Each structure stands twice: as structure tokens, then as C-alpha cells.
A = this chain, B = another copy of it.
Amino acid sequence: MEKRILGLDPGLATLGFGAVLCNPAATGAAQVSILDFGIIQTPAHQEIGDRLCMIYDDLHSLLDYVQPDLVAIEKLFFYRMGNTIAVAQARGIVVLVVAQFKLASVEFTPAQVKQALTGYGNADKQEVQQAVARELKLEKAPKPDDAADALALALTAWFQA
């Protein structure tokens, strides 16, 4: 049965999304194809509350449109100290909206995504993006980076399904 998987890379200024369609009944490269990808952006000069409202509303529209069967969300760690609280607040909105839609979800660390896409957890950004392009039969890596990261999350969920 076909499965729609949506990857979400949380952020306050830029939230990446990437959706793939997976068909276990197909063979080889036909099993997975790209549905959509992009970013939700909020302007830095706006109040944090208004920015979270934008993310909330845009995520509702996105989930209405993509109708995913599974959502893969990036796990947050402390390595991005400077803006961890801002990112965590935005991530709270992501987790909230996914739960409001009663969707199944999984979480992956960046290292798990790298491991799944390239075979080793210390791969650099470019290697991951090349793997995303290869898996999805794209001529080049999808842009911007946050959207590529979101597609990588969706693919990781697919590989582990």
C-alpha cells in the first residue's frame, strides 16, 4: 500500500518540509518518489508569538494538503546553543499540530539521518544532499537546505519502515 511520508525540520526563521510517496509493491527505484518540498519562513522583525502563529497556520495548511500517513521530525539537541530555546519553541508547535491531526510520527537525530542516507553518521551536508537527490532521481540536490534536510528525514523514515 502506498504511504505518504512527510519530513519536518523545525526552526523559527525557516522550517523545512519534504514529502515523499512510497510504494513497497513497486521494485527498486520506483518505490519512492518526491511529492513536494519547500520551507515555511517567518520574518525576524515580527513578534515571536506572531511567528509561532504563522508556523501553526502554515503547518495546518500543509498537513491538510499533504495528508501524510507518517511524519518524521528532527530531534533537537543542545549543540545549537545560541537558538536552542527559539527552535524548541517552534518545534513545540510542530509536535502540537502533528498531534492535533492524530498522525503517527517518528523522530531522528541528524546522525541517524546521515547514517541512513549515506551509511555513516559523520557524513557532511553535501553527501547527504547528494544521497537525497540520488534516491529521488533528481538532477541536483533540492534547495533550500532545510527542504533537503526534511526530505532526508522522510527518506530515513521510509528506509526504517
Q: Which residues of A contact B (CB under 8 A)?
A: 47-50, 52-53, 56, 76, 78, 81, 84-85, 88-93, 95-96, 98-100, 105
Contact = CB atoms under 8 A, between A and B. Distances in A.
Contacts of A98: 49
Most chain B beta carbons < 10 A, residue from A53, A85, A90, A105: A85
A105 B90 CA distance: 18
A161 B102 CA distance: 42
A139 to B, nearest CB: 37
15 contacts: A48-B95, A49-B96, A49-B98, A49-B99, A78-B85, A84-B84, A84-B88, A85-B88, A88-B88, A88-B89, A88-B92, A89-B89, A89-B91, A93-B93, A93-B96
Most chain B beta carbons < 10 A, residue from A50, A91, A92: A92
Contacts of A49: 95-96, 98-99, 105
A49 B104 CA distance: 10
Nearest to A73: B49
Contacts of A84: 78, 84-85, 88
A44 to B, nearest CB: 16
B99 A50 contact: yes
Contact of A92 (B50, B78, B91, B105): B91
